[in-house]
Amino acid sequence: MNVTSNMTGNVWKVVVNNNDEVKTGEDVVILESMKMEIPISVEVDGIVDEIIVNEGDFVNEGDVILKLK
């Protein structure tokens, strides 16, 4: 399953690592937009398979930021 950005912004912090187990509602990435920090959380339980973004990257709404297995 792909986890996507719900807005445009810079990746401020990636708070998970590959193979981490995540639960529904858990934050995985923090975006920064207009000097606000916006957490991106997962909608289903899973294991982080691949992190697509790096801290400092710019993402658009709908961009895939990580993949769960």
Q: What is the pLDDT of residues 6-41, one digit of tens each?
A: 999 999 999 999 999 999 999 999 999 988 999 999
pLDDT at res. 68: 97
In the chain, the N- to C-terminal Cα span, in Å, equals 6
Structure tokens at 10: 């810079």
pLDDT of residue 10: 97
What is the phi-psi region of residue 49: left when phi exceeds 0, alpha when psi lies from -120 to 50, beta otherwise? alpha
**Class of the 2-68 domain?**
mainly beta
Spatial CA neighbour of 68 closest among 5, 6, 18: 18
pLDDT band at 44 (very low <50, low <70, confident <90, very high): very high
pLDDT computed for residue 20 by the predictor? 97
